[in-house]
């Protein structure tokens, strides 16, 4: 294809790298940089799809390679002129290649408007984690890209699911909590002194945090504790 000019790239891959997710933090940005170099387009827009859910939902919080791969994809957004479509809610527990590509395409198109066509007015992605504050036995989470506001879908009233909370012992349990404006307040009677939160941290996680534009939040964690793929090559 070199030396043809490109308007942009759409990349949908990562499943085969899940067991080496920590390495993907380096490999994926390197691939993007190499393509930009090979095509002579240093600002080539590069869009990608975060891994969809796959496999059974977990009963208890744990470490998962696919969650770490999604984290590596999320970290790649630090590269200029990149965009990501979250597909956590579009997966199939029995099919690694889920059929719903229409919603994936719609979310990629929104990111293309922002990245490739520099449309500053479009809400192109769901909420992203910004910061956390410990308030006694509770943790308050702040978000960016909330659009018209945060919403919880497919839940019991205003309460959330898919969030886990841990103390200094690093043992995660499911959290309780609810929305307060555009922040989330989380807690658990089992964790009187919380220090960390994880959301949608699994191969096929519970997902219900969106913005009012119906775009889902990516999985995330507030801790930087070593994962199960660190050191694997």
The answer to whether position 230 is within a domain reads: no
> Could you tell me the sign of the dihedral formed by the alpha carbons of 191, 194, 199, 201, in that order?
negative
**Predicted local confidence at residue 182, as pLDDT:** 94
Does residue 96 sit in helix, strand or coil? Answer: coil
78 and 133 assigned to the same domain: no
Beta pairing class for 183-187 and 176-180: antiparallel
Cβ atoms < 10 Å from Cβ of 17:
18
146 and 211 assigned to the same domain: yes
62 and 83 assigned to the same domain: yes
Domain containing 37 equals 9-115
The label of the residue with tokens 């119906």 reads 214
194 and 157 assigned to the same domain: yes
The answer to whether position 227 is within a domain reads: no
For every one of its 233 residues, what pLDDT tens digit does the chain have, with 9 covering 90 and above? 888 889 999 999 999 999 999 999 999 999 999 999 999 999 999 999 999 999 888 889 999 999 999 999 999 999 999 999 999 999 988 888 888 999 999 999 999 999 999 999 999 999 999 999 999 999 999 999 999 999 998 755 556 889 999 999 999 999 999 999 999 999 999 999 999 999 999 999 999 999 999 999 999 999 999 999 999 88
103 and 132 assigned to the same domain: no
The answer to whether position 51 is within a domain reads: yes
Q: Which of 221, 220, 216, 222 is nearest to 86 (CA)?
A: 216
**Predicted local confidence at residue 95, as pLDDT:** 85
CATH of the domain at 92: 3.40.50.1110
The answer to whether position 199 is within a domain reads: yes
**Predicted local confidence at residue 12, as pLDDT:** 96
210 forms beta bridges with 151, 216
182 and 99 assigned to the same domain: no
- Domain-ending residue, one of 83, 115, 147: 115
**Predicted local confidence at residue 154, as pLDDT:** 73
The structural domain count of the chain equals 2
């Amino acid at each position: 294809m070199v030396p043809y000019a490109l308007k942009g790239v759409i990349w949908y891959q990562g499943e085969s790298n899940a067991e080496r997710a920590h390495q993907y933090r380096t490999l994926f940005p390197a691939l993007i940089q190499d393509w930009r170099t090979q095509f002579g387009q240093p600002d080539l827009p590069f869009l990608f799809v975060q891994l969809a859910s796959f496999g059974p939902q977990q009963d208890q919080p744990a470490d998962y390679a696919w969650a770490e791969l999604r984290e590596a994809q999320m970290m790649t957004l630090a590269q200029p002129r990149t965009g990501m479509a979250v597909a956590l809610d579009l997966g199939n527990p029995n099919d690694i290649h889920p059929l719903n590509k229409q919603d994936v395409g719609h979310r990629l198109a929104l990111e293309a408007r922002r990245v490739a066509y520099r449309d500053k007015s479009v809400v192109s992605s769901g909420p992203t984690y910004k910061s956390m504050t410990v308030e006694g036995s509770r943790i308050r989470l702040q978000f960016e890209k909330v659009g018209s506001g945060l919403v919880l879908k497919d839940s019991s009233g205003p309460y959330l699911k898919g969030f886990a909370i841990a103390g200094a012992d690093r043992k995660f349990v499911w959290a309780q909590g609810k929305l307060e404006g555009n922040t989330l307040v989380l807690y658990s009677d089992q964790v009187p002194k919380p220090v960390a939160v994880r959301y949608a941290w699994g191969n096929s996680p519970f997902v219900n945090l969106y913005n009012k534009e119906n775009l889902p939040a990516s999985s995330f964690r507030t801790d930087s504790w070593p994962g199960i793929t660190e050191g694997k090559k």
